[in-house]
Amino acid sequence: MLIPKLDLTGLKCPMPALQTRKALKSLTPGDRLEVHCTDPLSVIDIPNLVRETGDSVEITERAERRIVFVIKKGGGPVPLEDRFSLRSWCPYIK
């Protein structure tokens, strides 16, 4: 299966995240999207976006100035209380 590629090289924050969000809306659960960025902030913005939308980053790759994400479309957005729950990042809270 051919994975669609989104070339966002040269775009600065917040455009890579906004364009990725727009592209993910057209996918169905289980589809993948390959995103190419050069903005260093995309290593923060894209994973945060993916967490909000309920999707997942399968591969992150850095080469020279290019950052590549392979994102798998999930089933839908994660509830707000789960996104920002202490349980999601603190191992001491059960």
Give the position of tokens 């089933």. Answer: 75
Q: Which residues pair with 36 in a beta bridge?
A: 7, 68
Can 13 be counted among the known catalytic residues? yes
- In angstroms, the CA 81 to CA 27 distance is 25
When computed from its CA atoms, the radius of gyration of the chain, rounded to whole angstroms, is 14
Given 6, 11, 13, 27, the catalytic residue: 13
Return the active site residues.
13
